[in-house]
Amino acid sequence: MEVGLTFVILLLLGMPIGYTIGLAGMVGMFTIGGQGRYLAMAPDRFFAGLDLFTFLAMPFFILAGEIMNRSGITDRLIGLADALVGYLRGGMAHSNMVASVMFAGLSGAATADAAAFGNTLVPAMVKQGYSRPFACAVTAAGSIIGPTIPPSNLMVIYGSLMGVSVAGLFAAGILPGLLICLVCMATIAALGKRLNLPVSKNRPSLMRILLAFKDGLAALVMPVMILGAILGGITTPTEAASLAVLYALVMGCFVYRKVGWSDLYLMLMRTARITGVVFLIIASASIVGWWMTFNQIPQMIAASFLAVSDNPAVIIAMVLALLLIIGMFMDVNALLIILAPVLGPLSVAIGMDPVHAGVMIVLALNLSLMTPPVGACLFVLASVTGEKIERIARSLWPFLLAELAVLFLVAYWPSLTLTVPRWLGMTTN
């Protein structure tokens, strides 16, 4: 009771989520065992929460995405996407989705995708005749492809915490990520005539596609290199991430010649800020996680779910509902760290493959990034475009419904996520 009350009060007072979670966990430690004798364990749990080698992959992936974005890679990927699908009705919206798939292999974070395309594609779409809320909605819907298609920072966190193969999670995210792109493009096509979306005057041209492919080839090599090294067992995710930084530096400094020492300093600072925020949340959440384990709260939650029904389909629906509802009000990194030790084993107990359960949980949290009132991608887009969050949210609902359908398809059709990992021998079932 004291932990929940502390958390709510501090959150309402506007304290950053990392400090809120940590202080709530310390209150929990103080209230057990008498005289706060467990409180001295808080620093140990704080550092133990970060003492995982695979967590080093996150800052490397973030930095690689920063360098590639600064190198003008985003514009090259947009050009390739436009050459492929830009001739359709709503062509720039379709291009936004295809570019999101390509950019996903560089960043691994939805907010990075939202910021990059919010600064580039949204103004271009508005100039061509799209409404700004619709352009932002398309960008928000495409942004969650980033943490679904590998590399994915959320998958790194989940795999590290739960002892699930990060490579297996990466492989399992490929098909769901591509399916999100396809259903969003189908939604754009369905809305095309009703919203009178613009039609590009450029007709499809093989020569244009080949030239755009040549221009964007260097960017497309990096995700192939990362996935090939990880899935082929050549490197760990952390080693592959460091190689991605090296490749990005070579391309940015020596091939495109758009990254200088001053740029590198700024990108390192930005990477440190982003990583610091995420790591603070992870470390603080480990304190709450210890308190929950001490009080056997995970077992109590699992027992309450099983008391409602022992039908796996019903339990999966309850897990998704819990993630989607709480995700509307809480940072997804903190939510993943707190609930993964509860929901992951519960999902496995009802017969789900650990990789399948991990992808389902991560995808549900990804959807929370675009749902108000705490959707991080909505705030990013509102910040970089000047559009109101409520107007973006109104235009977003068709895409949200489409992506919810993908989530339930992922949850109830295991082959969608497990086909690629099974080819590579990365599942337990």
- For residue 40, the model assigns a pLDDT of 74
With helix as H, strand as E and coil as C, how does the chain read? CHHHHHHHHHHHCCCCHHHHHHHHHHHHHHCCCCCCCCHHHHHHHHHHCCCCHHHHHHHHHHHHHHHHHHCCHHHHHHHHHHHHHCCCECHHHHHHHHHHHHHHHHHCCHHHHHHHHHHHHHHHHHHHCCCHHHHHHHHHHHHCCCCCCCCCHHHHHHHHHHCCCHHHHHHHCHHHHHHHHHHHHHHHHHHHCCCCCCECCCCCCHHHHHHHHHHHHHHHHHHHHHHHHHHCCCCCHHHHHHHHHHHHHHHHHHHCCCCCHHHHHHHHHHHHHHHHHHHHHHHHHHHHHHHHHHCCHHHHHHHHHHHHCCCHHHHHHHHHHHHHHHHCCCCHHHHHHHHHHHHHHHHHHCCCCHHHHHHHHHHHHHHHCCCCCCCHHHHHHHHHHCCCHHHHHHHHHHHHHHHHHHHHHHHHCHHHHHHHHHHCCCCCC
- For residue 90, the model assigns a pLDDT of 86
- For residue 361, the model assigns a pLDDT of 95
CA distances 92 to 136, 172, 380, Å, are 12, 29, 20
- For residue 414, the model assigns a pLDDT of 94
- For residue 340, the model assigns a pLDDT of 87
What is the domain partition of the chain in residue ranges?
1-48, 49-423
- For residue 36, the model assigns a pLDDT of 60
Tens-of-pLDDT digits for all 429 residues of the chain?
677 788 778 877 878 877 888 888 888 888 876 656 677 778 887 887 777 777 777 788 778 877 877 777 777 877 888 888 878 888 889 988 998 888 776 666 787 778 778 877 888 888 888 999 999 999 999 989 988 988 888 898 899 888 898 889 999 999 999 999 999 999 999 998 888 888 777 677 788 888 888 887 877 787 788 778 877 778 888 888 888 888 888 888 888 788 888 888 888 888 888 788 778 887 887 888 778 778 777 778 778 887 888 899 999 999 999 899 888 877 787 788 888 888 988 999 899 999 999 999 999 999 988 887 767 788 888 887 888 888 998 999 999 999 999 999 999 999 999 999 888 776 555
pTM for the full predicted model = 0.83
- For residue 356, the model assigns a pLDDT of 95
Classify burial at 121, counting beta carbons within 10 Å of its beta carbon; exposed 0-12, middle 13-18, buried 19 or more: buried
d(CA 316, CA 246): 41
- For residue 70, the model assigns a pLDDT of 79
Find out whether 42 and 26 touch, Cβ atoms under 8 Å: yes
